[in-house]
Amino acid sequence: MKSILVIGMGNFGYHLVQKLSEFENENEVMIIDRSETRIRDLFAQVFSARVGDCTNVEVLRSLDIPHFDVVIVCINEDFQNSLEVTSLVKELGAKYVISAASRDIQAKFLLKNGADEVVYPERDVANNIATTVSNSHIFDYIKLTDEYSIYEIPIIPQWIGKSIKDVNVRAEYNINIIGIVSDGTTMIMPSADYIFCENDHIKVISERENIRDILQHI
């Protein structure tokens, strides 16, 4: 079980904690925010909740920062506070710090001041929406790196009735199938003997250019 501290219950922090609570047997989550109103709705979903100003080092010391496996700083409405808290939790012995940013310049400062990882909640959501609405054949999209992403796309009609091995997907199209979505059910890491059915979707890891090439055949 991982012990996780989430600092800041703005929109990102709130939704993050709701998602973490779905893994209640895997995560022990503590939340803190200076506003009791922001954390009130989450009391029943977390292991512990505190009201406090985390720019105050004494407040942070009282949390026993080294106890947590991960500290997530979700203060995205005030970058100065986010930077201060990121630096303070690292100084107090945080094992791994994830901080939220909205711009690249913020990410650079956060990484220099203690963050082990920086996430861009608003940018990532915007990229996801822009990618899926711009092409009617992309049903889901998750960016992994600047080069690679996970896409959910339909199969090429000519694949129906053939196996993954017959189509030789990796060699012919330079994509790696990691899942098949069929009749509302997702099969992870399907066998090479899987026979494609009409209306199947595939979840693939691919570079953007390779996805563009394959979408031309759909």
Alpha-carbon distances of 108 from 99, 114, 116, 145, rounded to whole Å: 11, 10, 11, 17
| CATH class belonging to 2-121 | alpha beta
At 213 the pLDDT is: 83
List every span in the chain annotated with CATH 3.40.50.720: 2-121
What Rg do the C-alpha atoms of the chain give, in angstroms? 21
Cα separation, 151 vs 142, whole angstroms:
7
Residue 40 phi, psi dihedral angles, 5° rounding: -60, -45
Q: Which fold has domain 129-215?
A: Alpha-Beta Plaits (3.30.70)
> What 3-state DSSP class applies to 77?
coil
Residues ≥6 apart with Cβ < 8 Å to 73: 7, 8, 82, 85, 86, 89, 97, 98, 99, 100, 115
Residues forming CATH 3.30.70.1450 domain(s) in the chain: 129-215
Q: Pinpoint the alpha helices (H) of 68-173.
A: 79-91, 104-112, 121-134, 164-167, 169-173
Query: What is the pLDDT, as a whole number, of residue 166?
Result: 93
- Contact of 92 with 66, CB cutoff 8 Å: yes
Q: What is the pLDDT of residue 6?
A: 97
Tell me the average confidence (pLDDT) per consecutive run of 10 residues in the chain, 218 residues long.
93 90 84 91 90 95 96 91 96 96 92 94 77 81 84 94 92 92 92 94 91 84
Nearest to 39 by CA among 72, 6, 70: 6
